[in-house]
Homo-oligomer: A and B are copies of this chain.
């Protein structure tokens, strides 16, 4: 990216976006004869050359198994791999031992849930007893969660006898601190919530909920999938106990996710997957586990992916997370105002003036989501349609599916305007207006 960064408190300018876009080869694609307008970054982001190059350079020159070898390449690979951990840890304000590589964010959330389950089954020794759940204990989630931050807790409740409760959302799909306070109690052991909703763009009052939870002795698990890529994060500062996010939504590869956990908790949580590289001594009957993060990284980890993810983080830092957030706020506002002004279109989530992430989901009266998506696709506009892995939220809002347009640092104002233009026409095309 060749743009000169001027004021870190200002949104990225249109001019800078044009420079940034040259770093992303996939943004040059055409779709159905139209230039691609990629408005699906909340599902997966595109990758800049720098990230692709970093991974390839590693694979062409330093590729080896990490942590197990004494030879030079293995040493170089291990160093690059652990440096990547430090880079990503620092990105969220954490120490390197507080960051575990996982397969994706879903895997990270399952790791925590299975840690609790294993502790409940008596695994992990005395240190793990604090994680054991039993009937009477409660796990609290919100009604707006992605399935990744819901179904693992359902399973945990099912195998431990704990009760799953939820913080309900209102007709806009959002909830307040008061709504949370009404559900949390001294029986609450875990509160799991999304930092930013992938459907509504709602930014959760995390610090307030952490305070409520900790006052009741509960641990907080944050789904940071939609925040880590788009805003500066200080996880220890937020006070959450665990947090999860995915590489592929933040310019990095698929095949890698991140679990953050407070050091003290990670060292006490029983392992999830077991196997090589996470043990110290193994006999035919027993195994001793290494401290975190190694105890959670069984087998050959996503080495080149970690290195690529660290490069993605450096790329984000070069642009500036605050500037990305500001830019996306402007784009979200433009989408929201534009869409809300179209007859027959209902937007979901917080209204104007309330902080929201750079995405807007909406329902087109009388036209099925897949038809909306197909219509936009014919114009080169890539959006997501469906329940976005949040069926309970859609059910609560009286919908089966919605259409979601999501922006990233490389999204142009023109792309948003193309979306708005086509959204104007879609109901007429399908005879709904």
Chain A interfacial positions (CB closer than 8 Å to B): 25-26, 29, 31-32, 36, 38, 40, 43-44, 46-47, 52, 56, 59-65, 68-74, 102-107, 109-110, 114, 118, 121-123, 143, 146-152, 154-155, 158-159, 164, 166, 246, 248, 253-257, 272-277, 279, 281-287, 298-305, 369-370, 373-374, 376-377, 381-386, 388-389, 391-392, 395
The 3 closest A-B pairs by CB, nearest first: A106-B299, A255-B255, A148-B275
From B159, B301, B373, give the contact of A71 (CB < 8 A). B373
Task: For the complex, give the distance between the alpha carbons of A344 and B389 in Å.
Answer: 62
Contact B151 A109 (CB under 8 A): no
Q: How far is the CB of A67 from chain B (nearest CB, A)?
A: 10
Task: For the complex, give the distance between the alpha carbons of A62 and B27 in Å.
Answer: 10
**Number of identical protomers:** 2
Q: How far is the CB of A286 from chain B (nearest CB, A)?
A: 7
**A395 / chain B contacts, CB cutoff of 8 Å:** 283
From B300, B385, B389, give the contact of A277 (CB < 8 A). B389
Q: How far is the CB of A166 from chain B (nearest CB, A)?
A: 5
**A62 / chain B contacts, CB cutoff of 8 Å:** 26
Task: For the complex, give the distance between the alpha carbons of A305 and B254 in Å.
Answer: 8
Q: How far is the CB of A362 from chain B (nearest CB, A)?
A: 15
From B60, B166, B386, B392, give the contact of A25 (CB < 8 A). B60
Contact B47 A106 (CB under 8 A): no
A63 nearest in chain B by CB position: B26
From B52, B61, B302, B373, give the contact of A254 (CB < 8 A). B302
Contact B159 A73 (CB under 8 A): no
A385 nearest in chain B by CB position: B70
Contact A146 B56 (CB under 8 A): no
